[in-house]
Amino acid sequence: MNSLIVILPVLLPIVAGAGLLISGCSDRRKRQIYVASVVAVNMLITLGVIFFGPKEELTLIRFSEGMSLAFRVDGLSSVFGTMVSVLWTVTTFYSFEYIKHEGKETKFFSFFTMSFGVVVGLSFAANMLTFYLFYELLTLATLPLVMHAMDDKARSAGKKYLIYSMSGAAFAFIAMIFISQFGSLDFVMGGTLAAEKISGYKDVLLTVYLLGFMGFGVKAAVFPLHGWLPSASVAPTPVSALLHAVAVVKAGVFAIIRLTYYCFGTEFLYGTWVQYVMMGVVIFTIVFGSTMALRTSHFKRRLAYSTVSNLSYILFGVVLMTPAGLVGGLIHMIFHAVIKITLFFCAGAVLYKTHHEYVYTLEGFGKAMPVTMLTFAISSLGLIGVPPFAGFTSKWQLATAAVETGNPLAYVGIAALIISALLTALYLLSVVITAYFPKKDFRLEQVKDVADPNRLMTVPLTLLTAASVVLAVFPAPLINIFQQIAAGLF
């Protein structure tokens, strides 16, 4: 297969999205057919490249001996690319119905489609320079989506998102420069720092890693750089779902995995002061995010703070800097993506049908919106980690990996996971209880006009919930793949 096929799923949605924006198509049916066709075809091409495409590197532009614009599919690319392409397609069909009440549909789907290509480009990047280029493009492509409503809240959220993202990218850029001088920008499992160059510069490079971690950590919403994420929940729900479950936040996690395992290398970082600092940051963020989620009664903002916490679950596995830790982090990345996008879709369904934004307004919705609230309840059990649902498997893997390290701070991390699980139960089950067990003075007539949305929204909810259950029951194939990735075999 021609190696140029690797860039087709990158270019197709970018060109198609730009074409839609230029054309200004106002016919809803034609626009939906066009977008659905582009996204579905691009998903198939992406999966085809991942499973059957060339494994050699494709270099488009070589700027110098150590700097190039290049693409390659490795094990980590396969995981991220598969997750993105499948969930993006599901979100597209959900969006067709939801975005009707938001307006500006052509603009929305133009940037929505272009963002798909940018994320695939980020996934297939063969080196840090290419990755950084698409990482920055992702900010620019998703900014119009965050600011879609263009009211005061949306403008403020967009401004905060841009400032946070660009500031973080500046620190990540510093890390990239140092990597290029002390090693290679290529992604190689185990790291690329040259032993003969790093002698005498260890503390400098550890500080640079700290800058890179926190820089990329902006999109991964580590404390205190998380502020943009709850604010971005003002975006239309399909955007919030992608921001909080798939595209932007997981790009930050993906970047930190690349930085840690494929650039600096765990052999260089393990046991150093920077590992302890980063472990402390993510442990605090785990508890902080869950605490803030419990404190807020705004439905989408509660889920946003939940994302802040769960992203650091993944990063906790990453900063353990062991193969088992990486496996646990990757499992939680996938499980959280499927579960959290479902929870956001449920919140979006409520908002679409009732315009209710707060948890305390959901009394009686269990009967009025049976599909929406049932999928929310099942997904909540998954995120809490109730056996045998998906979250239990990933949290078990993370805790087991922490115990294996024998690191005292890792045991603190286990305590944080337990505390966070209890808080998660409180802030999610309170929604379920409100929906299914209203107060004594509640009358069914109060929700007589409330109902589930149509199939364009309920079918994605059902499919995603079923997928999370299947993943929970049959996690072994995923675990086997992730173990191969962690061992550098895939």
Burial (0-12, 13-18, 19+ Cβ within 10 Å), 273:
exposed
- Is residue 351 situated within a structural domain? yes
Residue 431 has pLDDT above 80, yes or no: yes
Tokens of 455: 């199939």
- What is the per-residue pLDDT for 191? 87
User: Measuring CA to CA, which residue among 347, 316, 348 is closest to residue 332?
Assistant: 316
User: Does residue 482 lie in a domain region?
Assistant: yes
Query: Residue 369 pLDDT > 60, yes or no?
Result: yes
Residue 11, in any domain of the structure: no
Interval 442-480: pLDDT, tens: 777 677 778 888 888 899 999 999 999 999 899 899 899
Residue 46 belongs to some domain of the structure: no
pLDDT, position 351: 87
Q: What percentage of the chain carries pLDDT values higher than 70?
A: 99
Q: How much is the pTM?
A: 0.92
| Low-confidence winner among 161-165, 171-175, 243-247, 392-396 (lowest mean pLDDT) | 243-247
pLDDT for the residue 290: 95
Angle formed by the axes of helices 28-52 and 8-23, nearest 10°: 170
Query: What does the angle CA 363 – CA 367 – CA 370 come to, to the nearest 5 degrees?
Result: 115
SS3 percent helix, strand, coil of the chain, rounded to 5, is 75, 5, 20
Whether 386 maps to a domain, the answer reads yes
Residue 2 scores a pLDDT above 80: no
Q: Is 225 part of a structural domain of the chain?
A: no
266 vs 442 pLDDT, higher one? 266
**pLDDT (mean) for 181-196:** 87
Task: Please choose, from the candidates 130, 133, 348, 157, the residue with its C-alpha nearest in 3D space to the C-alpha of residue 234.
Answer: 157
- Give the model's confidence band at 214: pLDDT under 50 very low, under 70 low, under 90 confident, else very high: very high
Tell me the pLDDT tens digit for each residue of 111-150.
999 999 999 999 999 999 999 999 999 988 888 888 877 7
User: Amino acid identity, residue 246?
Assistant: V
At 486, the pLDDT band (50, 70, 90 cuts) reads confident
Given this model, what pLDDT does residue 244 score? 65
Name the domain count of the chain.
Answer: 1
pLDDT value at 98 more than 60:
yes
The arithmetic mean of pLDDT across residues 171-181, rounded, is 92
pLDDT tens-place string over residues 217-249: 988 889 898 888 888 777 777 777 776 677 788
Task: Give the DSSP letter of residue 298.
Answer: B
374 falls within a domain: yes
186 in any annotated domain: no
Q: Mean pLDDT across the chain, nearest whole number?
A: 89
**Quick check: 180 pLDDT over 80?**
yes
Residue 37 has a CB neighbour count (10 Å cut-off) of 11
Residue 455: give the domain boundaries.
271-490
Residues near 433 by beta carbon (within 8 Å), at least 6 away in sequence: none
